[in-house]
Amino acid sequence: MSYEGVPMTEKGEEKKESGEGFFLSRTKAIVLVVIVILLIIFVGVMAGVFSARKARKDALAEMTTEKPVRATGEGPTSELKPTKEPTGPEPWYKIRLPQNIRPIHYDLYLDPHLEQNTFKGKVSALVEVTKESDYMSYLLIHINDMNVTEAKVHKRDPNAGPNAATPGEEIPSKTFEYPKNDYYVFELTKDLEAGGQYVLVMSYKSTFSSQLNGLYISTYTNEKGETRRKKVLKSRMSDDEFQLKLEEDGEDEKKEQEFVVTRSKAIGLVVFAIVLIIFFAVISGVFSARRARNEALEENAKGGKAPGERPVPTDEPKVTAGTEELTSTAAPMNASTNASGPIFNVTVMTPTAEPVKPWENIRLPQNIRPVHYNVYLDPYLELNTFQGNVSILINITEKSDVMSCILIHIKDMNVTHAKVYKRDANATSNATTPGEEIPSRTFEYSENDYFGFELEKDLEVGAEYVLVMSYKSRFSSQLNGLYISTYTNEKGEPRRLATTKFEPTDARKALPCFDEPAMKATFSTVIVHEKDYKALSNMPVVKQEQLSNGRIESHFMKSVPMSTYLLAFIVCDFEFTNATTGQHKNITLRVWTTPTQVDQTKFALDVGNGIITYYEEYYNLGYPLPKQDMIAIPDFSSGAMENWGLITYRETALLFNEGVSSEANKQRVAVVVSHELAHQWFGNIVSPKWWNDLWMNEGFASFVEYLGVNHTQPDWEMMEQFLLSDLQRVFPLDSLASSHAISVEVDHPKKIKQLFDRISYSKGASIIRMLEGFVGKEKFKEGLSVSIDIFYDTVYYLRKYAYRNAETQDLWNALGEKANMDVKTIMDTWTLQMGFPVVTITRIGDTDKAQAIQKHFLLDPNTNVTVTSQFNYKWYVPLTYVFEGASQDPQTKWMNISSHKVEFTWPKDKWIKGNFKQVGYYRVHYDDDNWKALIQHLENNHTVFSTEDRSSLIDDAFNLARAGYLKYDIALGTLNYLGKETKYVPWKTALNSLGFLKHILSDRPANGNFQRLIRSKVKNLAHQLGWVNKKDDNHIKRYLRSAILRAACSAGDSDCVENATQIFKEWKSGKRAEIDVDLRTLVYYYGISNTGEEEWNWLYEKFLNTTEASEKSKLMYALAASRETWILNKYLGYSLDSSKIRSQDAVSVISYVASNPVGKYLAWTFVQNNWKALFDMFSTSTFRLTSLTNSVTQFSTEADLEQMKAFFDRSEAGTSENARKQAIEGTKANIEWLKTYEEIITTWLENYVSS
């Protein structure tokens, strides 16, 4: 409280005003002169300091391209700025103070200056540590908007009186601020003692608060109308001069001599002082800058420290290796030391100039190889955190340029302890037993996800070392690394599980590791979990131990040598069904899911059982592990992941509920299980050396999956379905100039993840299928593993490289040796350049000779291909062909890259059909006469051609017409025979081929006649198949019924649409108990499309309440069928709310809306407006951003193209970079197609309808 009124003397007497004039005592005058001199000196020094700093920085900028990292804070304080919020469970991330440190007493000294709007102060706070905690080396105290100028921690003086905040022994500390929670943090060099008392001594400065809280200024107006805020001396101004009387207090109250200063003199003195200050500042700055620049240049010439280094406060324990600071030229470092030993610090590294340091390379040094890991993982599911430690035995295989540095991958984790030891000479084989410690300092280089050790002495070639590291982290917020998945149990309670997905580069999020596929090692794993949970990993559990806190340690068998991306850790409360499998019945097969869905695992168990036994025979190599677990994860980003011995699946890819799931669901489960089990040999036993050979993993598994399913389900026509699911689906993508080669050099994780696309999977599978075709099935199979001879074994690919890594050429060499062919030369033309050829076969005049010419096939032949090819876009083509009268007796002619054509015999008066069964990865074109002869024979007797050949004729014709090679009336003529076709594959190819016209004509005048065309083609077969599945209908007939009825409804067939809508209404009203499982998708979709808000809300509630994965998928698709834009916009909004739509399904929802003509532009606008949120959700996913981009960019107008390009220019692409290029090229091709062919198609359709 302050007293306001008449100014008073210290004795309380009324202070009288002096007469006119500016009176200044001699003492005050001297003081003012001294102040001016000191001010001049101060400004000069500061100008020199800042000029020197800038000059040094400019000099360094001339020598390096680095950007220095500016340390924050003033005085002793550095601001802690984590790269992600939050990064760990450290106390400053919590809003509440640690509860084990309690204040007892404050000594507070406060010195406010009201007119300057500032205050300063000092506080001594006595605190008591009441109990132990996890962080005994930290003290946290609140501050807000102040500058701490001094901060120390002392033990309390033992001789001080009760509650006296008297400092004793100082405890060395570092300090930093965490302003998000208003914390000032002391990081101590030794732990606090429970029961101990300490004194915090802090000095500080600040300004009064600008708001009415904290320490702030209040004002009022006195009786004279003056604004008052403190006790001030009254001042008064006259015309000629102003006076200010200053008195010094003393016992005698003597009046000193006074000077009278006129206004003009005062102004002159002020100007003189300012000029003097400026002069000294300039001179000081010039000389300081010149000296600093010269020093910086000299320091660099001698090999000085790189700029841009900044210590980051961490909670790591002290390194006890010694007290002297380590030095090395291996890496530029900062490490702090003190009297009690060096503090364990992490230094954030920034890129340096040439020469390139090892941490600036995306690839790990290849001379340091991991041998064995001991992994201890301790997850806390409810707290969303985990901690762990790892001991890694490494071997130094050869000398390198930098032998004093070890790099290991980490990402989004806090390393709390890290040491390097030379391995104990007496340790047993592969044991990670530490021996002599190698003193080291550590650093992080986050750009390449590296944690580095800078060693005091060089590593020795041939020696073994042990890395010991402890760490903490949070579960990943995306569906990769180590993350949390959730489900709801039968009681309606939410349940959590911890699970992993590491491919390609996310094992580093769960443990420090050498996260490259070639860095294979063995693993011994321990996982801690609650008693009512189970732990799963790649190998079986060998023992369990209960800890004192009641948690369980599960110890797993030592693994075989494996890549880090194949590791898996799961903690869950799931249940399983099991079987014994393998040729020798020595493998335990288990299928896991949530307790209420265990009965849905039987089909996957049966399929897996048969396929494992088949693959052991096919590969001629036994399954190498004692068990194979397959588990359905409620939240999973892709279809499945082939972790060795513990395959993780999306629920829809593993669970099949008889009577609820459709035949399509059943086939998906079989195909995905077959694919992942194929990887257990091809990809796991032998893994790629680097990700440029990812296609070998995925392409091979994508081909062999058909063999596995065909073995267990021979009536499913799986080998014919390969054309629909892979070959014909990848052709359009690989017909773009923005496609890419199968094998591409990649470095950055973002680019690695872009390789997980249809080129790697489907093109990879297609060229493997072609290779098997020209090598022969038996030689192909034998070349993969081993050929058994009576006298000796010849070891081929899988056995030769077992538990190691291989490259594409290793596979080619193995197969070439067995087939006695130069497989590498042939296949390089298919893997090292993008695209594929169209082979044009024509008769030479009126002879019995034919010539075949190859050319790079592009959907838009006017596209400029900017990517060069070492083969000039020529291929070694195994051209197969059949003639009329011998349609099942193919002949082969090889086309090479040195000649543009080949010649062969073509009997007169017979048609020719190239690419027998579409085994080759190329298209075939003919002259018009041969096309017409083929079409006529289809109409006369289509069964002369194989199912695959009928399919390929339609597929080639429509795509050749689209690219300008073939007239559209000829292409459309391939559909004339469909009234006689009863096979699923040719029909589905026809519907897919018409899909392009359906899309591009959807908003054009010709759309009505196009829909009439579709209806006329499918109507009879739709009527014949009907709406009821018969008991004797096989799998493939059910597939055909679903496809034909969907085409009819989509084309607006009134009977079809009315039927679907009526069944839906009856089901909703309760008149119909259930809908045929294979027709539910169709009925749900058109039921919603032809009803309103009430039905949509009703179906959405069903979607929320069902726990059956395949049913949920059908409902989710149907909800996108509404014709109400506001409903679709609401549904799009749900995709960003994980309580309504699981994040794994968000892209599917947006894609479904985009496929609805009403929702096409709604989805595109939604994606543009919410790109940041979507990018944050899926930026690390291998598929999702690519899939999203493809689904919402199906455009064919100039306006859409320009808008799309503008959006791409202003938004980050992430893993969708390739997809964006393809979207732009595809849209340009569509625009050109409309210009060229719209009128032609419109006329043809008018003639067709009127005929």
Beta strand pairing status for 101-113 and 118-129? antiparallel
Q: Is the pLDDT higher at 704 or at 1029?
A: 704
What SS3 class is residue 187?
A: strand
Burial 819-840 (b: 16+ CB within 10 A, else e): bebebbebbbbbbebbbbbbbb
- Give the residue among 938, 935, 939, 999 at the shortest CA–CA distance from 1241: 999
pLDDT beyond 50 at 5: no
**pLDDT for res 258:** 42
Residue 7: count other Cβ atoms within 10 Å of its Cβ.
12
In the residue annotation, 676 being an active-site residue is answered as yes
State the burial class of residue 249 (Cβ atoms within 10 Å of its Cβ: 0-12, 13-18, 19+).
Answer: exposed
**pLDDT for res 298:** 46
pLDDT beyond 70 at 307: no
State mean pLDDT over 453-464: 96
The answer to whether the beta carbons of residues 306 and 332 sit under 8 Å apart is yes
Task: Tell me the C-alpha distance between 684 and 686, whole Å.
Answer: 5
What stretch of H or E contains 394?
strand 385-396
Using pLDDT thresholds of 50, 70 and 90, give the confidence band for residue 178.
Answer: confident
pLDDT beyond 90 at 305: no
Residue 790 lies in a domain: no
Using pLDDT thresholds of 50, 70 and 90, give the confidence band for residue 382.
Answer: very high
Q: Is the pLDDT higher at 656 or at 425?
A: 656
**pLDDT for res 1134:** 97
**pLDDT for res 75:** 38
Q: What pTM, to 2 d.p., does this model score?
A: 0.73
Residue 1236, domain extent: 1123-1250
Is 675 a known ligand-binding residue? yes
Burial 505-527 (b: 16+ CB within 10 A, else e): bbbbbbbbbbbbbbbbbbbbbbb
State the burial class of residue 686 (Cβ atoms within 10 Å of its Cβ: 0-12, 13-18, 19+).
Answer: buried
Distances (CA, A) of 565 to 198, 313, 1148, 1179: 49, 31, 26, 18
**pLDDT for res 295:** 53
**pLDDT for res 8:** 36
Task: Tell me the C-alpha distance between 904 and 885, whole Å.
Answer: 18
Respond yes or no on whether the N-terminal peptide bond of residue 68 is cis (omega within 30° of 0): no
Structural domain ending residue among the three candidates 691, 710, 728:
691
Residue 1117: count other Cβ atoms within 10 Å of its Cβ.
18
Residue 52 lies in a domain: no
Backbone angles phi, psi at 133, to 5 degrees: -145, 180
Distances (CA, A) of 311 to 69, 300, 314, 908, 1151: 10, 22, 9, 83, 46
As given in the structure block, the two tokens for residue 1059 are 């039927």
What SS3 class is residue 478?
A: coil
Catalytic choice (258, 676, 717, 1108): 676
Residue 962 lies in a domain: no
Q: Which residues have C-beta within 8 Å of that of residue 414, sequence separation ≥ 6? A: 87, 88, 90, 314, 315, 471, 472, 473
The answer to whether the beta carbons of residues 785 and 799 sit under 8 Å apart is yes
**pLDDT for res 34:** 65
Residue 421 lies in a domain: yes
Residue 120 lies in a domain: yes
**pLDDT for res 264:** 56
Task: Tell me the C-alpha distance between 783 and 786, whole Å.
Answer: 7
For the CA atoms of 1211, 1214, 1216, 1217, the dihedral, rounded to the nearest 10 degrees, stands at: 80
CATH code of the domain covering residue 1224:
1.25.50.20
* Axis crossing angle, helix 663-679 with helix 694-712, rounded to the nearest 10: 130
CB-side neighbour CA atoms (13 Å) of 1128 = 27
Residue carrying structure tokens 């304080």: 77
Using pLDDT thresholds of 50, 70 and 90, give the confidence band for residue 522.
Answer: very high
State mean pLDDT over 99-123: 90
**pLDDT for res 749:** 75
Is 679 a known ligand-binding residue? yes
Q: What is the pLDDT of residues 602-617, one digit of tens each?
A: 999 999 999 999 999 9
**pLDDT for res 466:** 97
Lowest pLDDT segment from 14-28, 942-956, 1047-1061, 1131-1145? 14-28
Respond yes or no on whether the N-terminal peptide bond of residue 595 is cis (omega within 30° of 0): no
**pLDDT for res 43:** 61
Task: Tell me the C-alpha distance between 418 and 451, whole Å.
Answer: 10
Query: What is the chain's mean pLDDT, rounded?
Result: 85
Distances (CA, A) of 1093 to 1065, 1085, 1103: 14, 14, 15
Residue 155 lies in a domain: yes
State mean pLDDT over 1133-1157: 95
- Report how many domains make up the chain: 3
Lowest pLDDT segment from 11-20, 84-93, 374-383, 1110-1119? 11-20
Task: Tell me the C-alpha distance between 50 and 285, whole Å.
Answer: 8
Task: Tell me the C-alpha distance between 331 and 337, whole Å.
Answer: 18
pLDDT beyond 50 at 59: no
Residue carrying structure tokens 């009786």: 223
Q: Is the pLDDT higher at 46 or at 696?
A: 696
- Give the residue among 414, 558, 559 at the shortest CA–CA distance from 87: 414
Q: Which residues have C-beta within 8 Å of that of residue 317, sequence separation ≥ 6? A: 344, 416, 417
Residue 349 lies in a domain: no
- Taking phi over 0 as left and psi of -120 to 50 as alpha, with beta for the rest, 12 belongs to left
Q: Which residues have C-beta within 8 Å of that of residue 1212, sequence separation ≥ 6? A: 1175
Q: What is the DSSP letter of 358?
A: G
As given in the structure block, the two tokens for residue 659 are 């009577």
State mean pLDDT over 1092-1100: 98
State mean pLDDT over 729-751: 90
CB-side neighbour CA atoms (13 Å) of 329 = 6
Q: Compute the chain's Rg from CA coordinates.
A: 39
Residue 1083 lies in a domain: no
Question: What amino acid occupies position 625?
Answer: L
Task: Tell me the C-alpha distance between 369 and 293, whole Å.
Answer: 45
**pLDDT for res 329:** 30
Return the top range by mean pLDDT from 369-378, 485-494, 861-870.
369-378
What stretch of H or E contains 640?
strand 640-641
Task: Tell me the C-alpha distance between 916 and 956, whole Å.
Answer: 13
pLDDT beyond 90 at 439: yes
pLDDT beyond 70 at 292: no
Distances (CA, A) of 429 to 393, 466, 522, 786: 10, 13, 12, 30
Task: Tell me the C-alpha distance between 1027 and 1048, whole Å.
Answer: 12
- Give the residue among 937, 889, 885 at the shortest CA–CA distance from 907: 885
Question: What amino acid occupies position 114?
Answer: L
pLDDT beyond 90 at 331: no
**pLDDT for res 164:** 72
CATH code of the domain covering residue 108:
2.60.40.1730
Q: What is the pLDDT of residues 615-650, one digit of tens each?
A: 999 999 999 999 999 999 999 999 999 999 999 999
Q: What is the pLDDT of residues 237-282, one digit of tens each?
A: 333 333 333 333 333 333 334 444 455 555 666 567 666 666 655 6
State mean pLDDT over 806-829: 94
Structural domain ending residue among the three candidates 635, 662, 691:
691
Q: What is the pLDDT of residues 927-952, one digit of tens each?
A: 999 999 999 999 999 999 999 999 99
State mean pLDDT over 812-817: 92
Question: What amino acid occupies position 803?
Answer: Y
Using pLDDT thresholds of 50, 70 and 90, give the confidence band for residue 45.
Answer: low
Is 516 a known ligand-binding residue? no
For the CA atoms of 633, 638, 643, 645, the dihedral, rounded to the nearest 10 degrees, stands at: 50
Q: Is the pLDDT higher at 326 or at 962?
A: 962
Q: What is the pLDDT of residues 829-852, one digit of tens each?
A: 999 999 999 999 999 999 999 999
pLDDT beyond 50 at 1026: yes
Distances (CA, A) of 558 to 244, 516, 524, 526, 771: 89, 20, 5, 10, 38
**pLDDT for res 791:** 44
